Amino acid sequence: MKRSMMTRSMKYSLAGLVLLFTTAHFARAQDFTPAQMTAKAKARNVPEIPFDSAPNFLKLPPNLYLGEGIGVATNSKGHIFVYTRSQETRLFEFDRTGKYIREIGEGLYGFAFAHAVRVDAQDNIWAVDEGTNMVIKFNPQGRVTMLLGRRPEAVEGVVATPPAGTPEPPAKPYTFNRPTDVAWDAAGNIFVSDGYGNSRVVKYDKNGRYIASVGSKGPEPGKLNLPHSIAADAKGNVYVGTGATNESRSLTMI
């Protein structure tokens, strides 16, 4: 992202930045020692990243308003994708100068409450929608090519609240509970942070076939407290940022 698009404030602080695993050992996270799972980062006096402010950078057509821009990403051309919440969830594309190009997925069934937008190495656009429990893949032309997750049907009615103390039901391979983000490794495997409800990370192959799941809700080592963002590096390591309301920082390497 250009420096001009950066801001000093973040909507969510990160209580922990967790290096979960290499992709080759995704299903073996429990093999690590307690000492490895509780190691803390020692970084201090980290400098601020300099940036320039560009007011009104995005140029919208008349009578079109941005609303709450909850997710932003860029592709190989420098085009900017903004996933917004307002009266309805919408996904907009702008060129590198901020000029409006198009809306993607207008009226899509999988759009209800935006959370993140990402662009992969092939310039496919991925929208993570917390409200519909879906991750939607668009090709560069803006056509839907893959769906992960499922939107609850209105005809099913409101799910009854279980009695206090009832154990959480096990998470299902292809069902999310308020997902938050998506990332990929060099092989194209897909990693979804299934955040607010299931507090886990789910791995799929490049075709969307379930491979494994790691994590569950809780403060204990090996568990996750609201996985809120996710990224993978060139070596196949997967990093998860956990959301919280305080200002603490930690780095756990497993």
pLDDT in tens, 141-157: 999 999 999 998 776 65
Q: What is the mean pLDDT of residues 114-141?
A: 97
Provide φ and ψ at 35, rounded to 5°: -65, -40
Q: What was the pLDDT predicted at 67?
A: 84
More confident residue, 17 or 96: 96
DSSP label at residue 185: -
pLDDT of residue 249: 30
Residue with tokens 């560009």, as numbered in its chain: 54
CA-based nearest residue to 179, from 102, 104, 113:
113
- CA-nearest of 23, 61, 12 to 201 is 23
Which residues have C-beta within 8 Å of that of residue 189, sequence separation ≥ 6?
A: 23, 203, 204, 205, 206, 211
pLDDT score for 254: 34
Q: Count of residues for the chain?
A: 254
CB 74 within 8 A of CB 90: no
What pLDDT shows up at residue 66?
86
- Name the nearest CA neighbour of 146 among 132, 131, 126, 176: 126
